[in-house]
């Protein structure tokens, strides 16, 4: 941070323990020493005002108090977190003493705002300071945050929110609640225009939870992170249930159970590093294209491509790890997962192909055969919307047997929540490339980036199966009467079923019909997968958005 507080003259004044009157020049700032900070061109020292020294003392003391309080809890101070977030020496603070009272010994408000650089690109931040009034939000804090967000919108740069707060400042009553309303509205205004990431590094309770809930990604840590609308005490008073803060709204709960959060970090440093990594894949705003990185394809990529054929088993019921497939396709095998612990039958995340950031969506046969359920549907839909908002092409790798059956799914709203996947793909206007690896059955085939729903380029591996139902299920329905007659006649029903299933696979389940209809653009060998995706991305590089109607917006199933 570059200001008078960090200037050499001010620092010497702070270190000058023998100084009795701070309004007098400190040792080393005497006249007749030209070239020293704080001196005029003719060698005369400009007076260092007492108020400036006082402000510097308050800033120093506040950080010392913050360290003693936060370190005792195993947490970093707000400023230490900013040092981890930004490239060294790039943070420029806005309104450092806004909301404070220097004469009365108040250094500032409970939030730090400003701009810095992450991998050389400008990013805005507001970081709540729990060492100041428990990080609570009042009028001064709300004004600072909204001002920061206005600036970020003007500059078209991302915003990172570092949350560590006791919530609304009770002493300010409705004035504090009003500020939350203003922040909600600003966050909604910024949604889809600039990337917004929330780092939950402490408590976040009550109405305050909706600030991060409205952002693109929420990152929590295994310890210290909590989010809940009503805390354990309120829950016990209202329902009689005794529950801890972690069990109610800890990092694990929101990553693995509720799906509210998108990454569970080991600690604060890991959480901040994940935020930096994600921002490296995203553009600064929806008006910009994602950054492009230098990449040279070579022997490593060719060897990885050859491994693809051996990863996916011929038996369509045998599981395998889709992550191995993804790592064989993307640059350097680097894949940044999003919501790894939630809706695990689907995999989503960021990667690069030929140096260009993309979003990857895939079924995970290792988890419930890669089936679509209520959780994985919402996970896929939200990620596709994120990619579409920020101009990232969507690569979809399909191996899906269908939707998960059962009353629990129907009662949980699989119709409504599954429709979100349709809405996301059907409305996306970024380049979309789909590869069917092994099987794609029923409605799940349609929603997972089929050409009918809007994908630009669709490919399939030679052994892929595309149909309304798998062979066995289809035979049980189509040949129900034939199987019944065979049973009554004492014939081998299982042998007949197997024979009919083989015939159905040969004539119907393979991808030939989709190829003949133009729903599949080409049949490719597994080792050609990366190559055809690269070629398709180059072909679609000039694809642009088209406004097809004059409507205000659609009514997405929610």
Which residues are designated catalytic? 206-207, 443-444
Using CA atoms, how far apart are residues 398 and 439, in angstroms rounded to an integer?
Answer: 7
Torsion of Cα atoms, 324 then 445 then 354 then 319, to 10°: 10
Residue 391 CB burial class (10 angstroms; 0-12, 13-18, ≥19): buried
Using CA atoms, how far apart are residues 212 and 200, in angstroms rounded to an integer?
Answer: 8
Within 10 angstroms of residue 24's Cβ, the number of other Cβ atoms is 13
Could you give phi then psi for residue 332, rounded to 5 degrees?
60, 10
Q: Does residue 28 contact residue 38 with C-beta atoms inside 8 Å?
A: no
Using CA atoms, how far apart are residues 201 and 162, in angstroms rounded to an integer?
Answer: 7
> Please, which residues have CB within 8 angstroms of residue 244's CB and are 6 or more apart in sequence?
232
Using CA atoms, how far apart are residues 166 and 134, in angstroms rounded to an integer?
Answer: 5
Using CA atoms, how far apart are residues 477 and 251, in angstroms rounded to an integer?
Answer: 46
**Between vectors from CA 508 to CA 505 and to CA 513, what angle results, nearest 5°?**
135
- DSSP string for 246-271: HHHHBHHIIIIIS---SEEESSHHHH
Per-residue tokens: 314: 């011929």
Q: Does residue 45 contact residue 58 with C-beta atoms inside 8 Å?
A: no
Using CA atoms, how far apart are residues 24 and 17, in angstroms rounded to an integer?
Answer: 13
Within 10 angstroms of residue 259's Cβ, the number of other Cβ atoms is 18
Per-residue tokens: 99: 């909301």
Q: Does residue 264 contact residue 252 with C-beta atoms inside 8 Å?
A: yes
Using CA atoms, how far apart are residues 262 and 256, in angstroms rounded to an integer?
Answer: 9
**Between vectors from CA 121 to CA 118 and to CA 124, what angle results, nearest 5°?**
70
Output Rg (C-alpha) for the chain, integer angstroms: 29
Per-residue tokens: 181: 């309303």
């Amino acid at each position: 941070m570059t200001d008078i507080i960090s200037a050499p003259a001010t620092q010497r004044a702070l270190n000058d323990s023998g100084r009795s009157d701070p309004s007098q020049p400190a040792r080393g700032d005497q006249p007749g020493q030209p070239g020293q900070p704080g001196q005029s061109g003719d060698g005369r020292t400009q007076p260092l005002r007492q108020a400036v020294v006082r402000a510097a003392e308050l800033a120093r003391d506040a950080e010392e108090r913050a360290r003693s309080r936060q370190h005792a809890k195993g947490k970093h101070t707000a400023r230490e977190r900013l040092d981890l977030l930004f490239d060294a020496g790039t943070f420029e603070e806005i309104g450092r003493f806004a909301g404070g009272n220097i004469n009365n010994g108040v250094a500032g408000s409970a939030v730090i705002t400003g701009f810095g650089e992450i991998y050389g690109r400008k990013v805005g931040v507001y970081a709540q300071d729990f060492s100041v009034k428990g990080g609570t939000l009042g009028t001064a804090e709300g004004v600072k945050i909204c001002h920061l967000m206005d600036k970020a919108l003007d500059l078209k740069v991302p915003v990172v929110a570092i949350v560590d707060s006791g919530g609304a400042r009770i002493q300010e009553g409705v004035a504090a609640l009003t500020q939350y309303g203003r922040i909600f509205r600003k966050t909604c205004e910024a949604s889809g225009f600039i990337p917004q990431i929330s780092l939950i590094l402490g408590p976040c309770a009550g109405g305050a939870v909706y600030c991060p809930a409205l952002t693109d990604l929420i990152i929590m840590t295994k310890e210290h992170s909590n989010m809940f609308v009503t805390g354990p005490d309120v829950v016990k008073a209202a329902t009689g249930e005794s529950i801890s803060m972690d069990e109610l709204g800890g990092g694990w709960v929101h990553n693995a159970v509720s799906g509210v959060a998108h990454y569970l970090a080991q600690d604060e440093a890991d959480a901040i590093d994940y935020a930096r990594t994600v921002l490296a894949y995203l553009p600064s705003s929806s008006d910009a294209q994602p950054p492009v990185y230098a990449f040279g394809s070579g022997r490593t990529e060719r060897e990885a491509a050859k491994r693809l054929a051996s990863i996916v088993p011929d038996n369509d019921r045998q599981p395998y790890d889709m992550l191995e497939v993804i790592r064989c396709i993307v640059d350097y095998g680097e894949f940044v997962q999003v919501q790894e612990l939630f809706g695990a039958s689907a995999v989503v995340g960021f990667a690069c192909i030929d140096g260009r950031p993309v979003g990857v969506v895939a079924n995970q046969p290792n988890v419930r055969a890669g089936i679509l359920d209520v959780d994985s549907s919402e996970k896929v839909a939200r990620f596709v919307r994120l990619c579409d908002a920020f101009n990232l092409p969507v690569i979809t790798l399909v191996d899906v047997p269908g939707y998960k059956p059962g009353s629990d799914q129907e009662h949980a709203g699989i119709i409504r929540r599954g429709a979100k996947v349709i809405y996301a793909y059907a409305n996306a206007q970024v380049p979309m490339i789909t590869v069917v690896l092994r099987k794609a059955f029923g409605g799940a085939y349609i929603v997972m980036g089929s050409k009918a729903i809007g994908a630009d380029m669709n490919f399939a591996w030679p052994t892929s199966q595309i149909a309304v139902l798998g062979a066995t299920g289809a035979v049980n329905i189509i040949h129900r009467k034939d199987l019944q007659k065979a049973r009554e006649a004492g014939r081998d029903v299982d042998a007949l079923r197997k024979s009919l299933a083989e015939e159905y696979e040969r004539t119907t389940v393979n991808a030939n019909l989709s190829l003949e209809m133009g729903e599949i653009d080409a049949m490719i060998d597994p080792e050609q997968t990366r190559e055809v995706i690269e070629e398709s991305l180059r072909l679609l590089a000039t694809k642009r958005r088209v406004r097809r109607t004059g409507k205000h917006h659609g009514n997405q199933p929610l």
